[in-house]
Amino acid sequence: MKKGISIFTILLILLPLLSACWNQKELTDLAFVMALGIDKGKDKRFKLSFQLVNPGNNYSGQNGGRGGQGLPIAVYRSTGDTLTEASRNATKKVSRRLYYAHTNLVVISEEVAKEEMEYVLDALDRDPEFRITSELVIARDCTAEDLVSTLTPLDKLPVNMITKQIKSTEVMLGENMSRNIDDFLTRLVSKGKQPFLNGYGLKGNKQKVRTVKFLQNTTTDATLSSEGLAIFNRTKLRGWVDGDEARGIIWLQDKLKSTYIYVNWKKEKDAIVVAPIRSKTKVSVLYIREKPVINIKIDSEGWISEANTPIDLNNPDIISEIDKLVEKEISKEILTSVKATQKLKCDILGFGEKVHVSNPRLWKKLEKNWDNEFAELQVNVKVDFYVRREGIRTVPFWSNMGK
């Protein structure tokens, strides 16, 4: 009996501790921030743009009908001397509590990226509600507010368009690579590896992309598009790389999944298009008289996606010659990318990290002046490429027409 009373007493004592929902948040009291834009105003105060989701206008019923006919998002703006002040000042305009747990995208203007990136990163990293896996991009030739406020016809939520497009171009084109807050911070605190981010811009009429009429058109007057890679030296934006130079950087990160390479054949320019589908990049360091030399080895294979010249792809000698031409093009592209980063004196390629790991003693001597050491590094590139498939046709159907 006493044992039963004791158990009952213990349960009675623990009962208050078992109560649930002590910190509950009602959905109707929250404003879900899907994207955050960070600009600087003329008064040098932070200007925040909050892309809030309109739940009623994004709901789809069983028959695919939309729950509302209004805009899928609402964008609110707020200012402050700090990000904390600007965020809290937004409560004067928004009837709900701003909720950052679902923020998928942070857009930072070029002005902020050049001067005050460290303050932004500290605020985002310190907030326990903010996810450091949020995509981080730099607004290029436009404001962060422009990107956050733009509507997209294909995706209901504009934030989804940007995050999915980055992943799509990473897979198909190789000029971008998904970068989040944690990726930036990891490179920032590492030895011998500088950060880089994706650039994004708005092309076309900036005013029309904010109206519901824009969503009803089959053609677009403006669109969001990826705009190269933003190169940083610690927390300062130093410059940009575009096109093939950006692709070479992704290749050197060993993150290239697929792309295309033009090859000249005989006297015809860009006559053959080869699509690499698998690639492996290895970077090693060789030391000559206490001077590091970087050796890059790339093994890749792909298929011929276009042949705009009469050519017999059944001939193994021709395939071997195409392999060598592709190797030459890739090597040239990689070296061009290396030189572009050396010109900016920003080791986003991680060569310094390789030196630090392989020779810590030498790294201690070079670390303080690594930006200049990196700019003068000797870099060697060796590429092995193999054409594995020629498509479903080995001879162009038109090569014998008229004969």
Q: In the structure, what pLDDT confidence band is assigned to residue 66 with cuts at 50, 70 and 90?
A: very low
Distances (CA, A) of 45 to 79, 85, 136, 241: 6, 10, 21, 29
Q: Helices 117-126 and 181-189 meet at what angle, rounded to 10? A: 110
User: Which amino acid, residue 290?
Assistant: E
DSSP 212-236: GGGGG-SS-SEEEEEEEEEEEETTE
Non-local CB neighbours of 50 within 8 Å, separated by 6+ positions? 31, 33, 35, 36, 37, 75, 76, 77, 78, 90, 94, 98, 148
What pTM was computed for the model?
0.86
Handedness of CA 83, 86, 88, 93 (dihedral sign): negative
The confidence score (pLDDT) of residue 401 equals 56
DSSP 11-47: HHHHGGGG---TT---GGGEEEEEEEEEEE-TTS-EE
Non-local CB neighbours of 339 within 8 Å, separated by 6+ positions? none
The confidence score (pLDDT) of residue 65 equals 47
Tokens of 277: 């589908």
* Predicted confidence (pLDDT) per residue in 9-27, tens digit: 776 676 665 555 555 666 6
Residue 315 has pLDDT above 70, yes or no: yes
The whole-angstrom separation of Cα 140 and Cα 280 is 31
CB-based burial label for 90 (10 Å; 0-12, 13-18, 19+): buried
Higher pLDDT, 172 or 208: 172
* Predicted confidence (pLDDT) per residue in 70-119, tens digit: 677 889 999 999 999 999 999 888 888 899 998 999 999 999 999 889 99
Residue 150 has pLDDT above 50, yes or no: yes
The confidence score (pLDDT) of residue 307 equals 87
pLDDT above 70 covers a percentage of the chain that reads: 83
Higher pLDDT, 121 or 202: 121
Query: Running DSSP on this structure, what letter comes out for residue 62?
Result: T
- Segment of 54-63, 211-220, 255-264, 305-314 carrying the highest mean pLDDT: 255-264
Query: Which phi-psi region, left, alpha or beta, contains residue 245 (left: φ > 0; alpha: ψ -120 to 50)?
Result: alpha
The confidence score (pLDDT) of residue 216 equals 53
The whole-angstrom separation of Cα 114 and Cα 238 is 7
The whole-angstrom separation of Cα 74 and Cα 306 is 45
Residue 331 has pLDDT above 60, yes or no: yes
The whole-angstrom separation of Cα 117 and Cα 140 is 15
pLDDT above 90 covers a percentage of the chain that reads: 58
Q: Helices 316-344 and 243-252 meet at what angle, rounded to 10? A: 100
For residue 224, the Cα-to-chain-centroid distance in whole angstroms is: 14
The confidence score (pLDDT) of residue 284 equals 96
CB-based burial label for 364 (10 Å; 0-12, 13-18, 19+): exposed
Residue 338 has pLDDT above 60, yes or no: yes
User: Which amino acid, residue 328?
Assistant: K
**What number is the average pLDDT over the span 180-196?**
94
The confidence score (pLDDT) of residue 233 equals 94
- Domains of the chain with CATH codes: 27-241 (no CATH), 254-403 (3.30.300.210)
Element (H, E) at 7: helix 2-14
Q: In the structure, what pLDDT confidence band is assigned to residue 403 with cuts at 50, 70 and 90?
A: very low
The whole-angstrom separation of Cα 385 and Cα 383 is 6
Residue 3 has pLDDT above 60, yes or no: no
Tell me the longest C-alpha to C-alpha distance in the chain. Answer: 107
Average pLDDT, the chain: 86
Element (H, E) at 245: helix 243-252
